[in-house]
Amino acid sequence: MTLDPGVIRKDFPIFNRTIRDGKKLVYLDSGATSQKPNSVMDAESDFYRNHNAAAHRGAHQLAEEATEAIESARGVVASFLGGAVDEIVFTKSSTEALNLLAYSIGSAPAGNIFHLKPGDEIVVSEMEHHANLIPWQQLAKRTGAVLKWFEVTQSGRLDLSNIDGVITERTKIVALTHQSNVLGTVIPLTQIAKRARDVGAIFILDACQSVPHMPVNVKALDIDFLVFSGHKTVGPTGVGVLWGRANLLNLLPPFLFGGSMIETVTMTDATWAPAPRKFEAGVPNMAQIVGLGAALNYLSDVGMENIYQHEIALTRYTLEKLQEIDQLRIVGPTDTDSRGSAISFTLGDIHPHDLGQFLDNAGIAVRTGHHCAWPLTRKMGVPATTRASLYLYNDESDIDALVAATLGAQKYFA
Amino acid sequence: MNLDSLYQEVILDHYKRPQNKKLATTFDAQVHHVNPSCGDEIDLNLVIRNGVVTSITWDGVGCSISQASVSILTELLIGKSITEAYAIYDNFVALMQSKGEISGDESVLEDAIALAGVSKYPARIKCALLGWMAFKDASVQAQAKSELE
């Protein structure tokens, strides 16, 4: 089966509107957030209209239905990732999921396998999104652990030449992005995960830019935790996912305390419910969780392998067409080898904000700036870039529009 | 919306030929401001003598709007009393926050009136204000310093 973006777009009502006085919407900003199909909005709306009650509480039919709705969504997420149902924790975002890990690890007492002491090492890379850098940077400050990182080469790859010097016997945590949100680079996960395993480090994968775009099966990856975001996965905002190995989730201390995460409570003490409930204090974002279930069902119906192949082909087309433009420099890998569909570039002396404004005037939505990865843009020697990021509803006509408007901007700002 | 209402000729001129874009070695106050949402940065040096702005110099990286806006600011405010400069500052900030509903007073704002179109693009207002915020910060520091002396 192949994927027809024209057919896909019919499921996404936003493509019925126009931009800046009647122009066709060319949406190339799915790396920031994806658009939503009707089935997701219908599922969310149906929950509020017909099943709304506080899940896991209440002695009535609606509460049963609400519980069933979110637990069934948990099952959808588990099978989408190839994990077990009890290994799926719902958070409000992937940012919260990463902070959950950092704060929970930071509160682990001596004797707990997650306990960090001064001199222990945490490894990240220069291509991390701020959400997978700052939680670890600050955890290191709080605990006296040492933050280390893989550098990024000028071609936009992780420099693994000194992998054994970066991940050492002192490394307790390795937290890396699966695919860079700026460069599109997909990291050599197998090699790094093996090294982490060899030294007994916990491996955390930020999969925000991979899970929406390629088949990802946690059983096939030698990792311990994975996070991804609902809203980048054609799902709603307000929901993120943390997957963790069951034995590790059981040992990890909770992050947020409150209702429904407990087993017993007295005035002076409390014990915790088993995972995943231990990590889900408070009434969950139920409608959003239900919407995420619908989103993953939508993606599965289209087929993640189909989406992946479609994006690779379109990425190849985009890289070829963009590189024909004089003074355009791709910031990141220039071919589709171990690369996804986030494509950053600079255009001579034209500032990305100005280019982005010009593209917007043509109905083309891109992102400009440092993309929440400031150390990376600094390392790549640019103050900012323009990023086009693709998804299942994009096609070659979107790229042709991008190229034409980029040429127009060169004339305008010449 | 017409892009030319945003990118007026005077803005593109200042962007290509920025004024006072060379940091003076002596100054009363030096500030560094950034726009964290996009990474634009500016250094600005300021001299105030007897209540008059005598020198504003700067360096920075950023989009045409942010660069032109600070360039225009230097031409507009050098030679003005600090009281006049603040009046112009207030006038400019009000224009930027107007969502396009006021057209601005050209007799006060002079070339800065060309930035009026920015107020219709909410994401760009911070670009236009970057240099102005830096000036305000520097002027407060410079005056505090002169009170101490």
Strand partners, A91: A240
Q: How confident is the model at residue A405 (pLDDT cuts 50, 70, 90)?
A: very high
Superfamily of domain A5-30+304-412: Aspartate Aminotransferase, domain 1 (3.90.1150.10)
Cis omega before residue A118 (within 30°)? no
Task: Select from B3, B39, B63 the Cβ nearest to the Cβ of A361.
Answer: B3
Q: CB pairs under 8 A, 24+ apart, for A192-196?
A: A192/A158, A192/A160, A192/A163, A192/A167, A193/A221, A193/A222, A193/A223, A194/A222, A195/A163, A195/A164, A195/A167, A196/A167, A196/A171
Q: List chain B residues with pLDDT less than 50.
A: none
Give B24→chain A minimum CA distance, Å.
Answer: 24
Q: Is A20 on the interface with B (CB under 8 A)?
A: yes
Averaged pLDDT, A113-139: 98
Tell me which residues of A are annotated as active site: 372
Strand partners, A146: A121
pLDDT at A386: 97
Q: Is A385 on the interface with B (CB under 8 A)?
A: no
* Chain B CB contacts of A21 below 8 Å: 1
Task: Select from A20, A21, A369 the Cβ nearest to the Cβ of B38.
Answer: A369
pLDDT at B146: 80
Specify whether the CB–CB gap between A231 and A33 falls below 8 A: yes
Strand order, beta sheet including A171-177: A88-91, A240-244, A225-229, A202-206, A171-177, A121-125, A146-150
Summarised one tens digit per residue, pLDDT across range A36-67 is 999 999 999 999 999 999 998 888 999 999 99
CA R_g for chain A = 22
- Inspect the interface and report whether the beta carbons of A369 and B65 lie closer than 8 Å: no
Could you give the C-alpha distances from B71 to A38, A93, A412, in angstroms and in order?
48, 41, 21
Q: Domain count of chain B?
A: 1
| Both structure tokens of B61 | 């990286």
3-state secondary structure string across A55-75? CCCCCCHHHHHHHHHHHHHHH
Residue type, A225: F
For residue A152, give the 3-state DSSP assignment: strand
pLDDT(A1) > 70: no
- Distance of alpha carbon B73 from alpha carbon B110, whole angstroms: 10
Summarised one tens digit per residue, pLDDT across range A60-97 is 999 999 999 999 999 999 999 999 999 999 999 999 99
pLDDT at A317: 98
Nearest CA in chain B to A19: B1
Question: What's domain A41-300's architecture?
Answer: 3-Layer(aba) Sandwich (3.40)
Q: Give residue B63's domain range.
A: 3-148
Sole residue written with tokens 């962007």: B15
Nearest CA in chain A to B6: A357
Q: How confident is the model at residue A397 (pLDDT cuts 50, 70, 90)?
A: very high
Look over chain A and give the mean of its residue pLDDT values, rounded to a whole number. 97
Measured CA angle at A405 (ends A404, A406), to 5 deg? 90
Domain ranges, ordered by start, for chain A = 5-30+304-412, 41-300
- Inspect the interface and report whether the beta carbons of A353 and B38 lie closer than 8 Å: yes
Specify whether the CB–CB gap between A354 and A413 falls below 8 A: yes
Chain B residues with CB under 8 Å of a chain A CB are: 1, 3, 6-7, 12, 37-41, 61-65, 121, 124, 127
pLDDT(A341) > 70: yes
pLDDT at A70: 97
Best A353, A358, A367 residue to mutate vs chain B (most B CBs within 10 Å): A353
pLDDT at A394: 98
Summarised one tens digit per residue, pLDDT across range A270-312 is 999 999 999 999 999 999 999 999 999 999 999 999 999 999 9
* Chain B CB contacts of A384 below 8 Å: 38-40
pLDDT(A17) > 90: yes
> How many beta-carbon pairs under 8 angstroms link A with B?
47
| CATH number of the domain enclosing B98 | 3.90.1010.10
With 0.90 as the threshold, say if the pTM is over it.
Answer: yes
Q: Which ipTM score applies to this complex?
A: 0.89
- Inspect the interface and report whether the beta carbons of A377 and B39 lie closer than 8 Å: yes
**A310 Cα distance to chain centroid:** 19
pLDDT above 90 covers what percent of chain A?
Answer: 98
Specify whether the CB–CB gap between B114 and B103 falls below 8 A: no
Q: Is A337 on the interface with B (CB under 8 A)?
A: no
Task: Select from A351, A358, A413 the Cβ nearest to the Cβ of B62.
Answer: A351
Averaged pLDDT, A178-202: 98
- Inspect the interface and report whether the beta carbons of A357 and B3 lie closer than 8 Å: yes
Nearest CA in chain A to B64: A354
